[in-house]
Amino acid sequence: MNKKLLSLLVLLSAPTLAATTINEQALQACSFIENDFNRLLCYDNTVAGKPLTKPASNKTLTPSDAAVAAPVAAATPAANKKSEFGLEHKTIAKENNSSINSAVATVKEAPYGELIITLENGQQWRQIGSDNIQLAAGDNVIISRGMFNSFLLKKEGLNRSIRVKRTQ
CATH of the domain at 133: 2.40.50
pLDDT beyond 60 at 128: yes
pLDDT score of 14? 58
> 62: helix, coil or strand?
coil
Q: Are residues 123 and 157 in the same domain?
A: yes
- Residue 111 one-letter amino acid: P
Looking at 21, 55, 74, which one is the last position of a domain?
A: 74
Looking at 50, 74, 98, which one is the last position of a domain?
A: 74
Domain that holds residue 146: 81-166
Q: Are residues 125 and 149 in the same domain?
A: yes
Structural domain tally of the chain? 2
pLDDT higher for 76 or 151?
Answer: 151
Helical ranges in the chain per DSSP H? 2-30, 36-48, 66-74, 81-84
Q: Are residues 95 and 151 in the same domain?
A: yes
Looking at 42, 59, 74, which one is the last position of a domain?
A: 74
Q: Are residues 34 and 106 in the same domain?
A: no
Q: Are residues 110 and 55 in the same domain?
A: no
pLDDT higher for 44 or 105?
Answer: 105
pLDDT, mean of residues 31-36: 85
The pLDDT-based confidence of 56 (bands split at 50, 70, 90) is very low
Q: Are residues 115 and 142 in the same domain?
A: yes
Q: What b/e sequence results for 39-61 when a residue is b if at least 16 CB atoms lie within 10 Å of its CB, and e otherwise? A: bebbbebbeeeeebbeeeeeeeb
Q: Are residues 70 and 96 in the same domain?
A: no
Q: Are residues 138 and 61 in the same domain?
A: no
Q: Are residues 95 and 154 in the same domain?
A: yes
pLDDT score of 96? 47
Q: Are residues 14 and 36 in the same domain?
A: yes
Query: Model's pTM, two decimal places?
Result: 0.45
